[in-house]
Amino acid sequence: MLIVMNRNAPPEQIQRVVRIIEAKGFTARPIPGGDRVSIGILNNEGPVDPALFLGLPGVKEAIPVTRPYKLVSREIKPEDTLIQVGGVTIGNGHLTVMGGPCAIESEEQALTIAAHVKNAGGHIFRGGAYKPRTSPYTFQGLGLEGLKILAKVRERYDLPVVTEVMDNETFDQVEEYADIVQIGTRNMQNFSLLKRAGLSKRPIMLKRGMSATLEEWLMAAEYIMAGGNHQVMLCERGVRTFVRHSRNTLDLSVVPVVIKESHLPIIIDPSHAAGVRDQVIPLSRAAVAVGAHGLMVEVHHEPQNALSDGAQSLYPDQFARLCADARKMHAVVRAES
């Protein structure tokens, strides 16, 4: 249930509602809005009696929340969440393009690619320092050294950086260096990692598990929000299907459904969906056309020598074309909405 307070209800009235919720053994989660606060009721097993709240000073209405995810849901927060990171706004009305290599391989490699990302008009630099690899015998990432290189990229090019955290042990370290902390597809239901992300001050990019339903994905985001971190963006990166013409199948049909169900920004990663670079630009155009709020794309100046995911990495000139196309498509989408 969501308790919606009157406009400008004073803190005493909000506190009184919180106390009543907590006295019942439930969790109260105040959600600041524009000029009114709503209070979400969490951890209730059965329905909550609205009569407990209706009639209290400052209470406007009590709305039952029908979805299993609460804080993530538009029922609880109708207005879109916007995430601010290093001067970049992510969310409805904005198109945020993130680009960079799959993995940080060296300082020279990262700085070279970052220059291309910046020149093309990219907003955020991506690059893995800790890499979840299928084989233990392939490049596992530079770890802390990679994070330090990301910090240099941010400083030199004034680009916020997004990088993946793989486990709780390295969370403190990753969040110290990252502007956005990424949780990868393989960890989408790593619940202890999600709980740790809920305590982070950094925005979290939560990738969809490679065979996760929409509900499982949104419930994973709920873990992060329930922990107190409301800066969450979702990232669709392709789901596993029977096809062989691409690495995964980019589920673009999830975008309008996510937008209907949730107020959180939705980013598309066409690179891990495609697995090959010639599909990445068309998929990116389609992603923007269907209403995605951003793209995250792998770029490499020497993809033939990349230590991971070279086949799907765009050449810098292709990334520049992608950025230009995406901007044009976004202008069309905005004009129509």
Interacting residues with ligand PEP (CB under 6 A): 102, 128, 132, 164, 184-185, 207, 237, 269, 272
Q: How far is the CB of 84 from ligand PEP (least distance, A)?
A: 22
Q: Is 218 in the site for Mn ion (CB under 5 A)?
A: no
Cβ atoms within 10 Å of 51's Cβ, excluding its own: 8
Residue type at 40 in one-letter notation: G
Residue 207 interacts, among Mn ion, ligand PEP, none and using kind-specific CB cut-offs from 5 to 8 Å, with: ligand PEP
CB 267 within 8 A of CB 205: yes
Q: Which is nearer to Mn ion, 40 or 184 (CB)?
A: 184
**Can you tell me the distance from the alpha carbon of 191 to that of 200, in angstroms, rounded to the nearest whole number?**
14
**Can you tell me the distance from the alpha carbon of 318 to that of 265, in angstroms, rounded to the nearest whole number?**
25
- DSSP letter, residue 310: G
Q: How far is the CB of 203 from ligand PEP (least distance, A)?
A: 16
CB 215 within 8 A of CB 223: no
Beta strand spans in 160-293 (E)? 161-164, 180-183, 204-207, 232-236, 266-268
Show contacts with Mn ion in window 102-131 (CB under 5 A).
102
Query: For the window 269-308, what string marks contact with Mn ion as x by the rule CB under 5 A?
Result: ----------------------------------------
Q: Is 309 in the site for Mn ion (CB under 5 A)?
A: yes
Q: Which is nearer to ligand PEP, 22 or 216 (CB)?
A: 216
CB 125 within 8 A of CB 98: yes
**Can you tell me the distance from the alpha carbon of 270 to that of 216, in angstroms, rounded to the nearest whole number?**
21
Residue 184 interacts, among ligand PEP, Mn ion, none and using kind-specific CB cut-offs from 5 to 8 Å, with: ligand PEP
Q: Which is nearer to Mn ion, 179 or 309 (CB)?
A: 309
Q: Which is nearer to Mn ion, 118 or 186 (CB)?
A: 186
Residue 185 interacts, among ligand PEP, Mn ion, none and using kind-specific CB cut-offs from 5 to 8 Å, with: ligand PEP
Q: DSSP letters of 40-64?
A: EEES-SS---GGGTTTSTTEEEEE-
Q: Which is nearer to ligand PEP, 95 or 274 (CB)?
A: 274
Residue 236 interacts, among ligand PEP, Mn ion, none and using kind-specific CB cut-offs from 5 to 8 Å, with: none
- DSSP letter, residue 246: S
Q: Is 161 in the site for Mn ion (CB under 5 A)?
A: no
- DSSP letter, residue 45: S
- Lookup: tokens for 271: 């690179």
Dihedral sign, CA of 103, 107, 113, 119? positive
Q: How far is the CB of 299 from ligand PEP (least distance, A)?
A: 12
**Can you tell me the distance from the alpha carbon of 177 to that of 174, in angstroms, rounded to the nearest whole number?**
5
Q: How far is the CB of 131 from ligand PEP (least distance, A)?
A: 7
Q: Which is nearer to Mn ion, 102 or 322 (CB)?
A: 102
Query: For the window 84-103, what string marks contact with Mn ion as x by the rule CB under 5 A?
Result: ------------------x-
Query: For the window 33-52, what string marks contact with Mn ion as x by the rule CB under 5 A?
Result: --------------------
CB neighbour list of residue 83: distance below 8 Å, 6 or more residues apart: 89, 90, 91, 203, 231, 233, 265
Q: By CB under 5 A, name the binding residues for Mn ion.
A: 102, 309
